[in-house]
Structure 1
């Protein structure tokens, strides 16, 4: 760590880096479309700065940080992350009912984002060190012990979306580590059933059970019927309805970058962050959105390929966790936009506005490419 071996430059995955840059450029264009009518073009400039810093950070991690030394510091990082999340509950201001952000000069930082790669580090190390023996249910106990502290603290903020990403990371890494798919499916079904039961219980006994904040509960209620928000679609269901309208307006080839749309007339809420996929659908249409989806899928598949080329199990699992993190964001963001999943406020990787998520993705890919670049002994 700290010394650049110039021979590593020849092992960089240039196609993956190019994909990241293309997606960042697409994101800047879509953010500009989303905020132009709102007079917030300064967000485009900020995102461009975030992108430049993120790319530099990604390359620095790839070239200067040998992923094999990370286990030496991972528990210090983990402890600092958990302590930071606990402090957020006390010092962070409440914004839109959530203590998720802290202000640092002109930018807002979401610390929970940076916990994701740290969680990947500790899970990858434990799974890689595990003895080659049959899996049992008890193997999930140490995994749960690592995931639970940050997950519970983030849920307390409350930020259900990030907790779902933690779950996606954990499930993806367990799968790559060889945990039986049937058991993972059983866990997923059991978790879903428990979630439905808790929502029903809170709706049935609101005075006794209050596990979810009122706005979180209403998001789940309007998932199946946006008009069932008590305001005929003008309350919690408004976001869902406007996103669906924007997607439908795009039709085959889209409405283009200019002209009145759900986005440019300010009907679509949070278009530069949560609903950037709806902006893409309305602006680019089915054809353009398909291209964007294919770019994201290509990025994920390329990253997964690189992960499988790592020289050891730790490097492979490290990369798999990064892919699982980005894939969870992609699936949930696109799913909630088209009405297939409840709204949870997760950004679309490399596309949505937001420095914290963009930096987290760049950190993740930097660690993944650190393992890929050191996949074999350099002889030239």
Structure 2
């Protein structure tokens, strides 16, 4: 490691790194609880490997990647991401109705995850170039031109959850860039109204309109009423009903790590990924899940602190994109667990099983800390 890197070690955000490590440890414990009854404890070992690799990657990005050099390569990365997503529609096998994964040796990777930090890079550079003048609706055109190709390709897989994260990233970065809140609110309201209208139209005229896949449409239907799945809650509504039951079983102090529960008896579907928040609520109870939420909030607040300390607008917007990405994952995952949001399959950051998401989060935080570590000229 060179002299410059040794100096950068003194500027590392140790509290943020510690929070990441604590959350990873919590994730390993909860994953072991989730998969024990299914005899899949090998997933815990895989996640531990991903965690070590993620921490190493996060530190490497922080120390060796100067965020100020990234605009030189961002469009190469964007082009590769677009081409990769297009290729996924052709070469990726269909798994659970989605062409989202590719096999890389013993592990499956989800390329769309790694597109998120690339989107953050191009948006940060574009928004940082905005001159000191009033924002207009036309300023959204280049932003939309960057987001739309990636969103459409991912939606074609189909992966609605990742598209929602793209929108969360974009909204958070626009807000940090100074775009008027009332316009963002109006845009979000109009988008929600349009989406609601399209869903209604597809339900009303299924033979003429097919924007959403059948399973995606059913997830929206059971979000309103889990028993309205044609099987009295034993079909598409089963997931959210079992998740709610698991959360309720936790009560105040939880069932414990070895307690008899929805998780232990394998009633809760996908407990190690989509519904790890329900596993935490059932295992740890209200007290435990509150502490876990506080840890996640502490991570977001610390990352936001680092964002505001960046030495330039580009670094600040870079951090805003990372915080927005993590916050969107957290809000949607927790919300769908208790039925406040439709099921989208988004993992809980640093907690859910999944190497692609864990590595993406670590790379993204590495970029954020790269800006934080270089906020001042190093003179010592």
TM-score (norm 1): 0.99
Moved over 4 A (4+): 1-4
Q: Distance in 1 between matches of 2:191 and 2:25?
A: 37
1:146-185 counterparts in 2 under 5 A? Answer: 146-185=146-185
1:355-370 counterparts in 2 under 5 A? Answer: 355-370=355-370
Give the drift of 1:132: 1.1
Cα deviation, 1:230-251, whole Å, max 9, x if unaligned, reads 0000000000100000000000
Contact 1:2/1:65 (<8 A) preserved: no
Contact 1:12/1:373 (<8 A) preserved: yes
1:86-235 counterparts in 2 under 5 A? Answer: 86-235=86-235
TM-score (norm 2): 0.99
Give the drift of 1:5: 2.5
* Counterpart position of 1:318: 318
Contact 1:4/1:64 (<8 A) preserved: no
Q: Distance in 1 between matches of 2:359 and 2:47?
A: 11
* Counterpart position of 2:328: 328
1:242-321 counterparts in 2 under 5 A? Answer: 242-321=242-321
Cα deviation, 1:13-44, whole Å, max 9, x if unaligned, reads 00000000000000000000000010000000
Secondary structure of the structure 1 residue equivalent to 2:325: helix
Q: CA RMSD in A?
A: 1.0
Once the two structures are overlaid, the 10-residue window that deviates more, 15-24 or 188-197, is: 188-197
Give the drift of 1:224: 1.2
Gaps of 5+ in 2: none
* Counterpart position of 2:34: 34
Cα deviation, 1:128-169, whole Å, max 9, x if unaligned, reads 011111000000000000000010000000000000000000
Q: Distance in 1 between matches of 2:289 and 2:361?
A: 21
Gaps of 5+ in 1: none
Contact 2:259/2:283 (<8 A) preserved: no
Indicate how the Cα distance of structure 1 residues 239 and 320 shifts in structure 2: closer, same or farther if over 3 A, else same.
same
Contact 1:223/1:339 (<8 A) preserved: yes
Q: Distance in 1 between matches of 2:45 and 2:37?
A: 16
Secondary structure of the structure 2 residue equivalent to 1:108: strand
Q: Distance in 1 between matches of 2:263 and 2:224?
A: 23
Cα deviation, 1:51-108, whole Å, max 9, x if unaligned, reads 0000000000001110000000000000000000000000000000000000011100
* Counterpart position of 1:73: 73
* Counterpart position of 1:16: 16
Secondary structure of the structure 1 residue equivalent to 2:164: helix
Give the drift of 1:378: 1.2
Q: Distance in 2 between matches of 1:266 and 1:299?
A: 31
Cα deviation, 1:239-286, whole Å, max 9, x if unaligned, reads 010000000000000000002210010000000000000000000000
Q: Distance in 1 between matches of 2:280 and 2:95?
A: 27
Give the drift of 1:4: 4.6
Q: Distance in 2 between matches of 1:3 and 1:102?
A: 39
Q: Distance in 2 between matches of 1:7 and 1:208?
A: 63
Secondary structure of the structure 2 residue equivalent to 1:103: strand
The number of residue pairs the alignment matches comes to 380
Give the drift of 1:195: 0.8
